[in-house]
Amino acid sequence: MGHIVIIGLNHRTAPVEIRERLAFPSEAIGHALRGLLEKESLKEGVILSTCNRVEICALASQGFEGTSEAKEFMAVYHGIPLEELNGYLYHYEGDEAVRHLFRVGSSLDSMVLGEPQILGQVKDAYGYAAEFRTIGPILNKFFAKTFSVAKRVRTETKVASSAVSVSYAAVELARKIFGDLSDKTVLLIGAGEMCELAARHLISAGVKGIMVTNRTFERAVKLAEEFDGIPIRFEEISVHLKRADIVLSSTGAPHFILQRQDVEEVIRIRKNRPMFFIDMAVPRDIDPDANQVDNVYVYDIDDLNNVIETNLEERQSEALKAEEIVKEEVRSFRRWLDAQQATPTIITLRRKYEEVKNAEVAKAVSAFGADDPKMRKVVESLASSLLNKILHAPISSLKKDADGRNQMDLVSVVREIFDLPEGSERTGTGDADETGETPQE
C-alpha cells in the first residue's frame, strides 16, 4: 500500500525570503508534480504552495525513503543545497501526517486561526494533482476526508465565525448596532487603507450607499467612482453628515475634524436616529467625548483591536473543540487505511495457501492410487480444517482495530513470514477510489 508522508515549511519555520525561494508557481506545478513521481519510492503526490507554506504530500512505498526523496526533490528542483533547507523543514508520517493535513485544511495551522482561504488553496492543490494524474486512491481518499473534516469544523465550531481583522471588526460592530445594513448610508472621510477596506466590506455587507470626501476633491471623486458612490467636498462635511448612519474616518489631520458639539447637532437633526463612527486615524479624527451623546457610538482603532483580541480568544476556545474533531477523524481515517493495508494481504494469503492446499490434496488422493470421491472429500475436509486453523491467527490479527499499532509494519511482517508476493500498486489514476468517493467540501 504505502506510507503517507508530508514534508514542508511554513510561516513559523521559515522566513518569507526562504518561502519565496521554495514556492511552486501554478504555471510550473504540472512539471513539478511529474518530477516528484519520478522518485522511486513515491507513488502518489500533491504539492501545496501558498505565501505562508510549501508542502509536499506523498504516498511512499517506504516512509523513511519517501521523506528523504521528497526533501531531495524540493532542494534539487529549486537549486538549494539540502543542508541549507533542513533547518526549516518539518516532516510527518502516518497518523501525524493525517493530523497535520486535517489541521491545515481546517485552518488550525494558519497564521490567522480560522481564516477561510487555506481550504480553497488545498482544494486547488488537489485539483492540480488530479489534472496531472499524480494522485491515486489513497491520497484521493485522504483529501476527500480533509475537505469533510474542514466542513465539520466550520459547522460544529465557531473557529471562523468572528472578525479578526480591523476592517471586518468594523463591519461586525456595525451589524451589532444596526442589525440589517441594507438601508444604511456610509460616509468615508479620508483615504486611509484600513478605512477604505472597511468601506469595501460594508458595501459587500449590503449597505444602501456611500459618500466619499477627501481634502483633495479629485481623490474623493476617484474613490467614489470605485465605490459607485457620491463624492462630496471636504468643507461640506457638516451639510452631508446628517445623511450618514455609519462614518469611517482616517484623514491624518493633527486635530479633531468632528467635535462633540458637531455630533450633538447632527443627532438633533436626525431626530436621535443612531450613528456609528469608526475612527481609524492616529491621531484621532473624532472627539471621543462624542461617545457620550445618546445614540452615538464611537470606536477608535484601539477599540477595534480589543474586539479582535476578544474574537481571537473565542477562536482559541473553539479551536479546542476543533482539535477534538480532528483527533476523532484521524482515528476514522486510520481505520479505513488499515482496511486498505490488510484486505489485499488477507486475500493474497488465503489465495496462496488455498493453492498449496489443493496441490497437496491432489497428491494425497493420487497416492492412494484412485480418485475416490469419498476419499477426496475426507482429505479436502481435513486440509481445509488445518488451513483455517493455521490462518486464523494471522488473519484475525490483520482484521483487528490497529489503534496503537503500526498496521503497515504488521502487514509487512505477515507478508514476509508467509512469503507473499508484493501486490501491484494502483497509482496516478486521478479517479475516485474503490468506495466511489471523490473529494468534496
Are residues 253 and 117 part of one domain? Answer: no
Nearest to 104 by CA among 95, 117, 94: 117
Q: Residue 309: exposed, middle, or buried by beta-carbon count in 10 A (0-12, 13-18, 19+)?
A: exposed
Residue that is written with C-alpha cell 474503490 in the block:
434
**pLDDT at position 369, please?**
64
End residue of a domain, out of 96, 126, 156 = 156
pLDDT at 1: 61
In whole angstroms, how far apart are CA 371 and each of 198, 365, 384?
90, 6, 18
Specify whether 192 is located in the same domain as 297.
yes
The CATH number of whichever domain residue 31 belongs to comes to: 3.30.460.30
Do 69 and 94 lie in a common domain? yes
Tracing cell 501545496 back to the chain, one arrives at 48
Question: How many structural domains comprise the chain?
Answer: 3
Q: What is the mean pLDDT of residues 168-196?
A: 89
Domain range spanning residue 91? Answer: 3-156
Specify the pLDDT at position 415: 78
Query: CB-based contacts of 146: which residues, under 8 Å, 6+ apart?
Result: 101, 102, 104, 105, 122, 439
Q: Which three cell numbers stand for residue 238?
A: 457638516
Residue 439: predicted pLDDT:
60
**Could you tell me if 203 and 149 lie in one domain?**
no
* 3-class DSSP state of 438: coil
Torsion of CA 37, 39, 43, 47, to 10 degrees: -50
368, 268: one domain: no
Q: Please state whether 105 falls in left (phi above 0), alpha (psi between -120 and 50) or beta.
A: alpha
Same domain, 140 and 175: no
Rounded Cα distance between 80 and 372, Å, is 74
Report the C-alpha gap between 174 and 160 in whole angstroms.
19
Phi, psi of 370, deg, nearest 5? -155, 145
* CA dihedral over 231, 237, 240, 242, signed as positive or negative: positive
Euclidean distance between CA atoms 434 and 340, whole angstroms: 10
**Which DSSP category does 134 fall into?**
-
HSE value, Cβ hemisphere, 13 Å, CA-based, for 317: 9
Reference 431, options 146, 144, 140; nearest CA is 140
% of the chain at pLDDT higher than 70: 92
Same-domain pairing of 172 and 288: yes
In a domain, 303, yes or no: yes
Residue-wise pLDDT for 117-142, tens only, equals 899 999 999 999 999 999 999 999 99
Same domain, 117 and 184: no
| Mean pLDDT over each residue of the chain, to the nearest integer | 88
In eight-state DSSP terms, residue 234 is G
Annotated active-site residue 51? The verdict is yes
Would residue 94 count as lying in a domain? yes
7 plus 128 within the same structural domain:
yes
Question: In angstroms, how far is the first alpha carbon of the chain from the final one?
Answer: 26
Residue 427 lies in a domain: no
pLDDT of residue 440: 53
**Is residue 434's pLDDT more than 70?**
no
SS3 384: helix
Looking at the fold, whether 299 and 393 belong to one and the same domain comes out as: no
Catalytic residue among 16, 20, 26, 51: 51
Q: How confident is the model at residue 113 (pLDDT cuts 50, 70, 90)?
A: confident
Question: Which of 156, 186, 216 lies at the terminal end of a domain, its last residue?
Answer: 156
Tell whether 274 and 294 lie within a shared domain: yes
Q: Are residues 287 and 402 both part of a single domain?
A: no
Cα–Cα distance measured from residue 85 to residue 363, given in angstroms and rounded to the nearest whole number: 62
